Structure 1
Amino acid sequence: MMHFMLLFSRQGKLRLQKWYVAHPDKLKKKITRELVTTILARKPKMCSFLEWKDLKVVYKRYASIAAQDLLQEEETPQGFFEDHGLG
């Protein structure tokens, strides 16, 4: 199950967010800030999957935008790339 999807720029500006699981606004902002800074700090050659808490984060960098999905532990990250036309 996908929990949310975020699109943000390389400067960390949030462009689009879609939440599939309800969270309070304060928690959404905290999650967004934490994940955006984590992903932007990663080097381009690093793997685009990472563990965050008990979930998987899958992201893909495009020209100046990064797309990110948060998946359940049992889901495969390859589905992310297929869903976004990258697989």
Structure 2
Amino acid sequence: MNCCELMDASVYLTKEVGNPFEAYPNKIDYFTKSELAEIMGGAIYKVKQKSKSVTIDELIADGWNRLIGNNWEWINPLIELVPVEDGE
């Protein structure tokens, strides 16, 4: 599903969509957060619920940010996620 192309010493992620039997399948370069969580076992993005044994200060020190309620997200500090508006 995912293809990585080396561009100027950085990784550019794309995924193929549409008919896989076409000569030139369409590739798109945007992902949902749940798709990002599946790439390389969560090396780019993770979401989890805070367990009782972990303090909020420990989560923040490890780079986790609070989403909603008890849900926390981690974004790899070596990358920048750019929001994509609907319809693009």
**Structure 1 length-normalised TM:** 0.29
**Structure 2 length-normalised TM:** 0.28
- Of structures 1 and 2, the one scoring higher in RCO (CA 8 A, sep 6+) is 1
Look at both structures and tell me which one has the larger radius of gyration over its CA atoms: 2
